[in-house]
Structure 1
Amino acid sequence: MPMLEVLYAGQKALSAEQRRAFADAAETIFQQVLGTPRGRLRLFFFDLSAEGLKEGASRDGPVPRSERALGLSDG
């Protein structure tokens, strides 16, 4: 089952309507490009504050793999 992780940083959190519209568009793309049946794509939305993405921002604990892969941290 394909999975898509969406990281979003903005002033306001995504609304349910925005998430649904993104999910619908992603399902269509996955269906057209990969042949993934509708309803089989799993989406995970993570809202990150813009403050947390500033260079030098500190945090406790390990850096998530997704942030390392996207170059959002030095960890």
Structure 2
Amino acid sequence: MRIYKQKNILERNINYSNAYGRNLQQESIVSCENTIAVDLVKLLIRCGADALSKNNAIRSPLDFAKQIKDMEMINILTDK
């Protein structure tokens, strides 16, 4: 049931964020294994997610990628 609710939310708003302002891109960068995060972020961007979105602390997915020094993710988020 929870997965269905999350899927339904994403179909309405791909940039949905939680109470802290974090969206799926930000959560995947800090929470997932690198290969999973890369695939997920690529998919979210293809589906129209905003790669420049900010959370409540005014940090973007790119800020998170820079913090963990993930060059592959930085390149994806900056479209290089």
Query: What's the TM-score, normalizing by structure 2?
Result: 0.27
- Select the structure with the greater relative contact order (CA < 8 A; seq sep ≥ 6): 1
More strand by share: 1
Query: What's the TM-score, normalizing by structure 1?
Result: 0.29
